[in-house]
Homo-oligomer: A and B are copies of this chain.
Amino acid sequence: MATIYEVSKLAGVSLATVSRVINKNPRVSDKTRQKVLDAMAELGYRPNSIAQSLASNISNSVGILVSELHGPFFGQMMAGIESELRAAGKHVIITTGHSEEDKEKDGIEFLISRNCDAIILHVEAVSDAYLIDLCKGKMPVYFMSRLVEGLNDHCISLDNELGGYLATQSVIAQGHSTIAYIAGPQFKADAKDRLAGHKRALAESNIPFSDTLYFEGDFKETGGSDGLNHFLESKQEFSALICANDEMASGAITYARERGFSLPKDLSIIGFDNIIFARHTYPKLTTIDNPVNLMGTMAAKLVLKNIYKQKNMSITHSFEPTLITRDSLICKS
């Protein structure tokens, strides 16, 4: 690959001049600029962004850490961030944390060492204290789907407690009073908040929270089937099932039918997240919308505004979940 040096030689100008035309610095005459441009074209020159990054301390790329690369939730999130950033000519460096503390830290270190201009994190295993400490460093850090105490400006978050409340309230509004709940892993803040919202709605209607109608799932399809199986084995009565995310709800729906249920007649089910596939279950899944794609673009806008100094960026830090009514939740018969 041709270097800036070869370009400068061919064009008969200095390195600095070539650098200036690369960076669209106006302090170069049209004549000279053209000479340089021609030379670059002739050599097929392309700036080495590693070298640029080292010299200028700007990489035009922002680091992203997600828990997983697959799954509808992270897919939408990454897509939201990337499209917004890409439109502004910035690139994205993605790595994973797998919801494990060590791997999350490792991923963060990697992004920092890659000289990103900023990093956007979706971390679940790492402590608030660690994050607060991290924010004291030189690298600008932003958080997706997590509200860190005192770092509100750095967070784009969803009111998961409200979402959890909304889900349960909707179920109660349909006349259900024996309600099973499959939670997400409780070390994850969003799973915990959703459960808290569930409990608040329950309390508000004077329905006691019952341990026997509670199951901690894994946020995956198997969590839904395992949870439902658990409840069924325990011979509990319940007319509605709340799942802390749509994947578990899908698993539960499929498993319910395997166990001979007719849905939604025999059991009402509600999910959370409103993933694309939620409208392709049968019955179509009633769920709580989590505008994760939008939140992704917002996180991107946040760094565009703060780091790349773009104007006219209005930022919303906090998002509210809404109920999406479909077919899987009906009146208690």
Q: Cβ of B96 and Cβ of A86 under 8 Å apart? A: yes
Interface residues of A in 112-155 (CB under 8 A from B): 112-115, 138
Taking each of A49, A221, A284, which has the highest tally of chain B beta carbons within 10 Å of its own beta carbon? A49
- Chain B residue numbers with a CB within 8 Å of A276 are 221
Q: Cβ of A91 and Cβ of B82 under 8 Å apart? A: no
| Assembly CA distance A91 to B112 (angstroms) | 13
Instruction: State how many residues of chain A have any CB contact under 8 Å with chain B.
Output: 49
Q: Cβ of A93 and Cβ of B96 under 8 Å apart? A: no
Q: Cβ of B93 and Cβ of A94 under 8 Å apart? A: yes
Q: Cβ of B48 and Cβ of A115 under 8 Å apart? A: yes
* A324 in the interface (beta carbon within 8 A): no
| Assembly CA distance A50 to B110 (angstroms) | 11
Q: Cβ of A94 and Cβ of B94 under 8 Å apart? A: yes
Identity of the chain B residue whose Cβ is nearest the Cβ of A61 in the assembled complex: B114
Q: Cβ of B114 and Cβ of A49 under 8 Å apart? A: yes
Q: Cβ of B69 and Cβ of A82 under 8 Å apart? A: yes
| Assembly CA distance A254 to B276 (angstroms) | 13
Min C-beta distance of A282 to chain B, whole Å = 4
- Chain B residue numbers with a CB within 8 Å of A250 are 277, 280
| Assembly CA distance A69 to B292 (angstroms) | 14
Q: How many copies does the complex hold?
A: 2
Query: Which of B72, B91, B115 sits near A95, CB closer than 8 Å?
Result: B91
* A7 in the interface (beta carbon within 8 A): no
Interface string of A277-291 (1 = CB under 8 A from B): 101111010000000
- Chain B residue numbers with a CB within 8 Å of A78 are 69-70
Identity of the chain B residue whose Cβ is nearest the Cβ of A277 in the assembled complex: B277
Q: Cβ of B46 and Cβ of A54 under 8 Å apart? A: no
Min C-beta distance of A165 to chain B, whole Å = 27
* A251 in the interface (beta carbon within 8 A): yes
Beyond A46-B113, A54-B51, is A79–B69 a contact (Cβ under 8 Å)?
yes
Interface string of A49-75 (1 = CB under 8 A from B): 111011000010100000011111011
Q: Cβ of B251 and Cβ of A280 under 8 Å apart? A: yes
- A-B pairs with lowest CB-CB distance, top 5: A70-B75, A282-B282, A69-B78, A49-B113, A70-B79
Other A-B contacts than A69-B79, A250-B280, A281-B281, 17 sampled, CB-CB below 8 A, are A1-B112, A49-B114, A50-B54, A50-B113, A68-B79, A69-B75, A70-B75, A70-B78, A72-B72, A82-B95, A91-B110, A221-B276, A221-B280, A250-B277, A253-B280, A280-B281, A281-B282
